A and B are shown apart, each in its own frame.
Chain A
């Protein structure tokens, strides 16, 4: 099953125009800044934007003329948009009942989904008593309840505080992976897009500026925005404590010294993700003397010029992307083949600790 969309929406003086496809069991992230039109695009697919024109096909079957209630689309809205007057259970049962199922059958189905996606939430609780992360879990269950053929998640992590984010990200990854059909993920967070999506569509000001796998976009961002957002250094591996407040992140190709994550017990941790902005990587022609904890040496692989900035890819351990001004690139005579030193401070690294995979999904 595949989704093909070609959509135009006039919104004020911005025209959103986008054409994209999502394959069967493919997670496509729509990544872009606020106001880029991401939500408008997915709500158009759900049939909620009357002003939209264009064509939407699901397995070459047109759905763009169907009213929203007839479209086989399950959507978890940003902030949940749970019905405040209904309980958690009634919210999740809503899509089933709306399609004519009996109350008892729909409740059983909803309970089963809640047990899987939102264990520990009382089924008869009202949405206003839930935390942001709990609301999002219920919204996810509700999106799946109607047995949709397309799954849409709109900013599923934005209303969730940092402590609940890793748990929810792991759940999202499993849920997306288990869903048979195209999946769309709206996000402004590059890490979310890179860790959850198979392919990324970068959207700026209503237009698609780039489409590609996370690796393709990380290695060759085509706009300044994509470079800033997606061109992050990403490290993944096992985190070992080395001293008070610091740890060593052992990746497949190199070790990085990082600050020990807050509120996490000291001890070895698996599946830790860390990001580092290329602008926080400093390049030197000789071994630096400063206080930075991480110092590596490597050969320049590639230099890409984006306006007055140069993105430099280093074949170091671990491999790094640095972003410096074109002026300093010229001064240091940086070109492919040059041997340089790179340094970055531990405190510039953003850590994301994934929880232990405890449940049996």
Chain B
């Protein structure tokens, strides 16, 4: 009981401290001074885009991992999980040598297609997706594995083509796991720092998301950093409650 209280206090203390130490008297000034609205808008755009891409690519990937029968499947799963355990900075460096302007693929992207990812919002989305996609893949794969195959068999026997069965039976039945995975992916994307600053840089209005803005403000305006942090707390908690209350137990 005592240890549980200690644990709860430990988790809550930083959030409480943020509220206590916030420069409430000059809130407005702090907000405009550190470019909060620009960073917040960018953060929401980048994290939502990364979540959308993660779901679009991650669901087929989860399907392949759960249902595919091919050599190297476990290896592929390990590769998909890797970004979770990898330090984000390392991911950022990896993205840089792969997709940077002189990177393996990035050089070709730039020379042939004129696409540059570093120092662009698209680059921030790429870095964020890299780090957060595994969460939705793993959750969806677990859902697919836990699904009783008899429902899909029944649907096929009822005349459903494989695509129809996937749309009307498989996907709706794993929707709770998929949604939980997407919420986790989004939360991870909103907080992404290391890979983004390494790969996409820290340009206000283009790649400077909220965590990066907090980091920068911390060096020039500690009060502003607290205000930005509070905004992130409020946004995170309210979205979790609104979207994922059912999934996280917050109601």
Contact = CB atoms under 8 A, between A and B. Distances in A.
A268 B158 CA distance: 44
A98 B154 contact: no
B160 A94 contact: yes
A94 B173 contact: no
A344 interface: no
Q: Is the interface of B mostly helix, strand, loop or mixed?
A: helix
Given A94-B168, A98-B164, A83 B156 contact: no
Contacts of B164: 69, 98
A34 B158 CA distance: 25
A146 B150 contact: no
A331 interface: no
A337 interface: no
Interface string A23-53: 0000000000000000000010011100000
Given A69-B160, A77-B150, A81-B150, A98 B172 contact: no
A85 B147 CA distance: 13
Interface footprint category on B: 10 to 19
A338 B160 CA distance: 63
B150 A85 contact: no
Contacts of B168: 94, 97-98
Interface string B154-173: 11111111001000110011
A67 B153 CA distance: 11
A146 B158 contact: yes
B155 A146 contact: no
A18 interface: no
A71 B150 CA distance: 17
Contact of A77 (B154, B169, B175): B154
B173 A98 contact: no
B160 A98 contact: yes
Nearest to A85: B172
Contacts of B157: 46-48, 68-69, 71, 73, 75
A299 B213 CA distance: 102
30 contacts: A46-B157, A47-B156, A47-B157, A48-B153, A48-B157, A68-B153, A68-B156, A69-B156, A69-B158, A69-B160, A69-B161, A69-B164, A71-B157, A73-B157, A77-B150, A77-B154, A81-B150, A81-B153, A83-B154, A83-B173, A94-B168, A95-B158, A98-B158, A98-B159, A98-B160, A98-B164, A99-B159, A145-B158, A146-B158, A146-B159
Shortest beta-carbon contacts, A-B, top 4: A98-B160, A95-B158, A98-B159, A68-B156
Given A68-B157, A75-B154, A81-B153, 18 more contacts: A67-B156, A68-B153, A69-B156, A69-B159, A69-B160, A69-B164, A71-B157, A73-B157, A81-B150, A81-B154, A83-B169, A85-B173, A94-B155, A94-B168, A98-B168, A99-B159, A142-B158, A146-B158
